[in-house]
Amino acid sequence: MARLPYLTRDDLPEADREIYDRFVRERGSQPGHVHRIVANAPNLLRRFLGLANELRNGTQLDPRLRELALMTVGRIAQAEYEFTHHWNISLRVGVRREQLEHLADFETSPLFNEQERAVMRYAAEATTNIKVGDAAFNALRGFLDNRKIMELAMNVAFYNAVVRILVPMGVELEPGAKKD
């Protein structure tokens, strides 16, 4: 059970309701539980949504690589909410279902290529140890430029923050939310 309420548009002060309106306009859906719980601090929700949107839609990083990194974060953190939502996003951007089913074996599974392994290794080390070893970091240099490395680092860092909201706050999946 969530530890804070999932706020609706009407629960917000009048001046902050535009956050929900813009969300619906831009995404074509109602805010999910993660957004509704962050809405307990509307000033932070505004920034949270802006950064999330930029990370998802404004970067040059291959969305498949991004999602494999985020699925790695969600798996390690045991964040069901994150894992379920990004499972579906992963499928939409072209990650194969077989890959998603073998995320824990990414180092040895023939389903992943060296670039995918490098991105997932970076995400795993940053999530588990915070410090990323030279071998993991240098593997990224072989196929990502500085901008894309930073975009990967920001995605991994942001979603590590997200799982650290989801899990301690007890954010539940929305009714009907499931892996496709």
How would you write the pLDDT of the chain (180 residues) with one tens digit per residue?
999 999 999 999 999 999 999 999 999 999 999 999 999 999 999 999 999 999 999 999 999 999 999 999 999 999 999 999 999 999 999 999 999 999 999 999 999 999 999 999 999 999 999 999 999 999 999 999 999 999 999 999 999 999 999 999 999 999 999 999
Cα dihedral angle (103, 104, 107, 110), rounded to 10 degrees? Answer: -50
Does domain 63-163 bear CATH number 1.20.1290.10? yes
- Containing 169, the helix (H) or strand (E) segment is helix 146-169
What is the residue extent of each domain of the chain?
9-57, 63-163
Spatial distance between the Cα atoms of 100 and 83, rounded to a whole number of angstroms: 10
